[in-house]
Amino acid sequence: MNITADNRKWLDDFNLSHPLVIAGPCSAETEEQVLKIARELKNSDVSIYRAGIWKPRTRPGGFEGVGAIGLKWLQKAKAETGLLMATEVANAAHVKLALEHDIDVLWIGARTTVNPFAVQEIADALQGTDKIVLVKNPVNPDLALWIGGVERLYNAGIKKLGVIHRGFSTYDKTKYRNIPEWQLAIELQSRFPNLPLICDPSHITGKRDMIQEVSQQALDLNYDGLIIETHFDPDNAWSDAAQQVTPTVLKQIFEDLRIRKVTDDADDYNNRLARFRVDIDEYDGKLLEILGKRMKVADKIGALKKEKNVAVLQNKRWNEILGKMILDGEEKGLSEEFILKIFKAIHQESISHQEKIINN
């Protein structure tokens, strides 16, 4: 896949002085609701109006969207406000209806991205169109699956592409609805720097009072835009009420966000940055050296367990280490979330070392 500057021309053509903003209700509920929100967003930083027409629900019985009638409401909103219209599509039938109603932007949701057959069906249905198509990350942190979804669209001749980072599901209890796993999005960004990257703080947080914080984090990481769920009466929204903000709050978020420069050409900045990076490189080298020594100790433990026919995993010992590291990490200004990630990875590598010794 050869994503070039031409593939982000659709974004550059907006000629914005700020990141792209896509906003609107999680779900289109009524014609009045769709139009009211669109009118309130018309004279703001919003360029694209979003509304879910078909809503995939985890379990049956919930509100699954108004269906095709909602597309007519989006047409009216576009005619009145001039905003481009966006909605989610999950199959070829959705694509057909969206194209018939001249929807400008289509996105593929996280539940659909996990299914290559469904993505291919959508790609085939879109072949030959010039619509903007955005791919949300899959539910689980699988970078190859996310890239694969983009590749299927690219191979179908879709040139106006972008991705949406909406976070990843986890069994662990965290402050997020879907953990960001920023490093996966950064890795995608580094591999395909011309592929527009948009953050969905609504789905990452699941809480309206965290939208500002996560939006700023995304902009600090040089994201190209934001997609934020917006409703004039969030508490009574028919879906995802807790993560929607009012148009007034959304506009305040725009005011409060700080747009960072990509870089700075000043000599002072570059000289100081170079010195800091030398320090980082030195510490990274020391980290690798220490980790290598730690794994040599794990090898010795593996040899001892093999000699005495003892199981590799010792849960009591592992829980003791984890508890101690979390406490020690807090004293050094390291978050519990970070400590858990680091030491789970170290523990897994240690187990792998011991298993190789025991089984050889």
**232 and 259 in contact (C-beta within 8 Å)?**
no
Residue 296, pLDDT score: 96
Residue 195, pLDDT score: 96
pTM score of the predicted model: 0.82
Instruction: Give tens-digit pLDDT for 25-47.
Output: 999 999 999 999 999 999 999 99
Any residues with CB less than 8 A from the CB of 133 and at least 6 apart, and which?
105, 106, 107, 108, 126, 153, 158, 160, 161, 162
Task: Give per-residue burial for 179-198: e unless 16+ CB within 10 Å, then b.
Answer: bbbbebbeebbeebeebbbb
Residue 58, pLDDT score: 66
Helix (H, G, I), strand (E, B) or coil at 357: helix
Residue 59, pLDDT score: 66
CB neighbours (10 Å) of residue 307?
9
Residue 132, pLDDT score: 97
Residue 155, pLDDT score: 95
Residue 65, pLDDT score: 83
Instruction: Give tens-digit pLDDT for 59-89.
Output: 676 777 899 999 999 999 999 999 999 999 9
User: What does the angle CA 181 – CA 207 – CA 222 come to, to the nearest 5 degrees?
Assistant: 45
Task: Per-residue pLDDT tens, the chain, 360 aa: give them.
Answer: 888 888 899 999 999 999 999 999 999 999 999 999 999 999 999 999 999 999 776 667 677 789 999 999 999 999 999 999 999 999 999 999 999 999 999 999 999 999 999 999 999 999 989 999 999 999 999 999 999 999 999 999 999 999 999 999 987 778 999 999 999 999 999 999 999 999 999 999 999 999 999 999 999 999 999 999 999 999 999 988 999 999 999 999 999 999 887 788 888 888 898 889 989 999 999 999 999 999 999 999 999 999 999 988 888 888 888 899 999 999 999 998 899 889 999 999 999 999 999 998
